[in-house]
Amino acid sequence: METQETRRALRTDILRLLALTGCAVALFFVTRAIFARQRSLEIREAARWYEVGESQLREGEIASATRSLRKAIRDDPNNRKYAIRLADALADAGHNTEAIEALSRLRESDPEDASLNLHLARLAAKDNDVSDAIHYYENALYGRWTGGQVDARQRDTRIELIQFLLSQHEHQRALSELLILDGELPQSADAQNQAAELFLEANDLPRAFKHFEQAAHLDPQDVDALTGAGEASFRLGDYRTARHFLEAAVKRGEPDPKTVRDLSVAKTILRSDPFAPHISPAERERRTLSIFDLSLRRLQACAEQHDVDAQLQALRAQAVAIQPKLSPNAVLQNPEMTTTALELVSEMERATNATCGGAQPADDAMLLIARLHGGAE
Amino acid sequence: MSSFELPLWARLRVRENQIFLLLTILISVLAGLAAVLFTLAIKGTTRVLFGTSPTAARYILVPTVVSFFTGFLLKRFFPDARGSGVPQTEAAYHLQQGVIPGRTAFGKFVTGALCIGCGHSMGREGPSVQVGAGIASSIGRWFHLSPARVQSLVPVASAAALSAAFNTPVAAVLFALEEIVGDMNAALIGSTVLASVTAVVVERSILGNNPIFHVPAYQLVHPAELIVYAALGILGGIVSLAFSKGLLRLRAFFLRLPKWSTLFQPAIGGVIIGIILIFFPQVLGVGYEYVDQALNNELLLKTMIVLCGMKLVATIISYASGNAGGIFSPSLYLGAMAGGAVGIVVHRFAPFPVANSGAYALVGMGTTFAGIIRAPMTSVFMIFELTQDYQIVVPLMIANMISFAISKRFQPVALYHALLHQDHVYLPDLRTRMPAIWRARDIMLPSTALIPPDTTIAEACKIVASQDESAFMLGRDGLSSGIVTRARMEEAMRTGLASAPLYRISTDDYLYLYPDQPLDLVIERLGRSPGVLPVVSRRDIHLVEGVITSQRLFQFLQTNLKDSTVATEAVTTTSEQDIREKPAA
């Protein structure tokens, strides 16, 4: 009898447990459905606030836009687009710290998101926070990219990092990144030009020249590439190559004054350099005397205007004293005289430039020749 | 031997043990789902009632009209659903063997969602606890579990509900043990842990694993900051005191109003809240988004100070006027604002490097929680769980303990218990809950005749003439209103006050006992009483369940001490026989 009662009690318990389980399962799905519906409502609401914020931004109402975007984020806190837009709006309004905080919170949930890291890097760069900016740029470079053209966007990010490093005078780190960039560059004149510009800024002249030359090779009509190659070779002291590219650049477009001047200087150097190869001793002697005379005349003209300048007067006296010794025979017999003369040319040009200014391409050329062949800085 | 061969009581016990584990899991799932649904219901109500850009008129109308409606529901159908739900759950656990009617749970869900959703500055955690406990209690009774099992389901479901509502499973377990059970060594730890984990899994499977706050990484920048955290503990204690005292005073005021006005009291609160919302919409409802902003240094000093003050006022009004909603989240809100404000001030003026204001907001949350809720261990673990950073524990403990000590010093009764006292409900203390052989309910004379207070003294003397007691209870319908001694009555007769009503010579300041209080307390109180010690109900202090007189105590001890001696001898004899018989067996 008791056994039957117990069995009945157990049966009832089992049925009740099953009913309760059924209730729990049903309630679970009902709750999920309610949550999903509420969530979609919130997302719609967030999108509406985002649109309002966007239009306010277009009208320049940054404070109102910030409020609207905050509401959008309140309703859809995990939406990256909203957070990034809010951060941009805050940054535009000068609230950089708040902008960084808005993005940092989002980053917590996904620290490897490349686009978030990139935005944070830009904000940190704007704040001149070098270590954070570099940290976020690197996170962006090695983070997870979504969407198309990943390689191009990664390359652009690296270029942005290099530009930031150069602006902060971190040339060594910039060069490291440039070398990585070197290996990733596509065969296009624009990309080669961009890399060459960065190498130029980082003072890696040979690599700058290589990329400009490559760009000019890919597009012979590319004036930027021709000008860049000319400038790089000019700074490298290869005036013949410089003349070649600069002449090509001048021929193919509206040349800028610097290009014209550089071309003029290069031509003058090639015409006047006493140490140029394949010239006769007589020609070397002629060139030496010519640039010495030119330089001395300019110094004397300047010294007459500034007769109280003791340094200028002393230099003039020294030059006038040495001039008779620079006879054609003396230069021929004693090649050291050429070097001595060039050193003095260098000093005279610098002193004249410092006191009277108005250096002409020929003056620049003389100074460069003097520097090139032993003229002390 | 199979369980079917056991005696019936043993089989029932086995069955109950087996069912209890399964029920714990199922109840945790249901309590967790109820908590999630409650959160969604509040959000949905707010969205429906206020829309996206509420006008000033809407801010006033919505809380007023909805509070009037909930006031009707609370008065007519769900009188036990007012307020937080945590004190009611404690009372049900300690005084009603865990019985919480299903209707109360349902009523709490509906009125709580409406009250908080319509803008009242209240929390969702307390109602979630009561709803969860109500579900557990109803299911336990449906399964015809023993009263002890039904009782033990209450903290289990409370932990599950809080875990799902606040997403901090460890703190939920501690809260159930520290606050509901009142004993950290309770045998229910296993079940509460299981319940808490189950509920949080359910909650995360629906809402996702999103923390309730985005807490920045915490750091103690300089050791001198510990002094600032101690000062924050003092401020937290002061804010807690202001909140507790203010709430108790305003609630006492509302309770003193005529009974018919309880229908309108929530609406009065609604009007005031509406006016506050026009100027400070940030205090609307639970307000966790602003706590989040304080934690992330997104609020200005002035904003935080103003919001701290306005939230304090708004919550006191919402709660005291009899609406349904808790004080768990308002206490965190107050702490976050106060702490954030301290953080900004320190950041500006401290001569040493300090953490950002978010770190102070975080510790501030702990200080007010410890000061108002008086659950310091829960507070420490809750913040630790939010940050998941061990570094915060030391400053948090310093600040929490200071706040707790200040709050306890100037408000000796914890707020939840003081709120129950206002409803004439008194929970047993730890000493009363200790095992005891005899309690007041075993000793008392179960019924006593109360003399109506308006009886003349002469008539009263005639009534008591045949009795031996030296003092008598006054009252009607089982509800006491005072006590009068025989000596006082005789003196009144001598001084010509025979026709005066009895209440003129009675006093309502008398010693009493609760039925569950132990024998030693009975002896101690009886020694200080005029000879009669009423035993009153914990659920209503005016309800006299019996009386204890000196004579009754002597009789009881004479009888029971003799019985216990006989019983002890019998037990001893049986044990000796067992020992003697065992080798033979």
Do residues A180 and A158 touch, judged by C-beta distance below 8 A? Answer: yes
Residue length of chain A? 377
Touching check for A327 and chain B: CB below 8 Å? no
Residue A286 lies in a domain: yes
The whole-angstrom distance between A141's CA and the closest CA on chain B is 24
Identify the pLDDT of residue B48.
92
Touching check for A105 and chain B: CB below 8 Å? yes
Of residues B33 and B212, which shows the higher confidence score?
Answer: B33
Whether the predicted pLDDT of B3 surpasses 60: no
Tokens matching residue B68: 């009037």
Do residues B200 and B210 touch, judged by C-beta distance below 8 A? Answer: no
**Cβ separation of B30 and A108 shorter than 8 Å?**
no
Residue A354 lies in a domain: yes
**Cβ separation of B298 and A28 shorter than 8 Å?**
no
**Digit-coded pLDDT (tens) for B221-263:** 888 899 999 999 999 999 999 999 999 999 999 999 998 999 9
Q: How many domains does chain A have?
A: 2
Find the CATH number of the domain harbouring A63.
1.25.40.10
Distance of CA B556 to the CA centre of its chain: 35
Residue A345 lies in a domain: yes
Tokens matching residue B69: 């409606």
**Domains plus CATH for chain B?**
3-207 (1.10.3080.10), 225-422 (1.10.3080.10), 432-551 (3.10.580.10)
CA closest to B26 among chain A residues: A21
What is the spatial distance between Cα A50 and Cα A80, in angstroms, rounded to a whole number? 12
Touching check for B348 and chain A: CB below 8 Å? no
Identify the pLDDT of residue A51.
93
Per DSSP, the residues of B230-245 read HHHHHHHHHHHHHHHH
Residue A104 lies in a domain: no
**Digit-coded pLDDT (tens) for A341-364:** 778 887 888 888 778 876 777 777
What is the spatial distance between Cα B404 and Cα B240, in angstroms, rounded to a whole number? 9
CA atoms within 13 A on the CB side of B347: 16
Identify the pLDDT of residue B13.
59
- Sign (positive or negative) of CA dihedral B34, B36, B39, B44: negative
Percent share of chain B, pLDDT over 70: 91
What is the ipTM, given to two decimal places?
Answer: 0.76
Q: How sure is the predictor about A331, in pLDDT bands with cuts at 50, 70 and 90?
A: low
**Digit-coded pLDDT (tens) for A140-190:** 988 888 877 888 888 899 999 999 999 988 888 898 889 988 888 888 888
- Sign (positive or negative) of CA dihedral B531, B535, B538, B542: negative
- Which one of A94, A119, A144 terminates a domain? A94
- Which one of A94, A119, A142 terminates a domain? A94
**Digit-coded pLDDT (tens) for B463-505:** 888 887 788 888 888 888 888 888 888 888 888 888 888 888 8
Residue A22 lies in a domain: no
Identify the pLDDT of residue B1.
43
* A83 interaction partners in chain B (CB closer than 8 Å): none
Closest CA to A219 of A207, A228, A206: A228
Dihedral angle of Cα A321, A323, A324, A327, to the nearest 10 degrees:
150
pTM, two decimal places: 0.69
Residue A141 lies in a domain: no
**Digit-coded pLDDT (tens) for A229-261:** 999 998 888 888 989 999 888 888 777 888 888
Do residues B131 and B105 touch, judged by C-beta distance below 8 A? Answer: yes
* A104 interaction partners in chain B (CB closer than 8 Å): 216
Of B15, B206, B207, which is closest to A9 when you measure between CB atoms?
Answer: B15
Provide the residue range defining the domain that includes A72.
Answer: 33-94
Tokens matching residue A166: 């150069």
Terminal Cα distance for chain A, rounded: 118
**Digit-coded pLDDT (tens) for B371-395:** 999 988 899 898 888 887 788 888 9
* CB-defined contacts A:B, below 8 A: 70
Tokens matching residue B26: 């199922």
SS3 for B538-563, per residue?
CCCCCEEEEEEEHHHHHHHHHHHHHH
**Digit-coded pLDDT (tens) for B506-562:** 888 888 888 888 888 888 888 888 878 888 888 788 888 888 888 888 888 888 776
* A27 interaction partners in chain B (CB closer than 8 Å): 30, 33, 37
* B113 interaction partners in chain A (CB closer than 8 Å): none
Do residues A179 and A143 touch, judged by C-beta distance below 8 A? Answer: no
**Cβ separation of B33 and A32 shorter than 8 Å?**
no
Amino acid present at A167: S
**Cβ separation of B296 and A34 shorter than 8 Å?**
no
Touching check for B289 and chain A: CB below 8 Å? yes
Of residues A1 and A67, which shows the higher confidence score?
Answer: A67
The whole-angstrom distance between A221's CA and the closest CA on chain B is 55
The C-alpha angle with vertex B491 and arms to B487 and B494, in degrees rounded to 5, equals 145
Residue A266 lies in a domain: no
Q: How many helices (H) and strands (E) does chain B have?
A: 23, 4
Amino acid present at A321: A
Of B26, B37, B47, which is closest to A31 when you measure between CB atoms?
Answer: B37
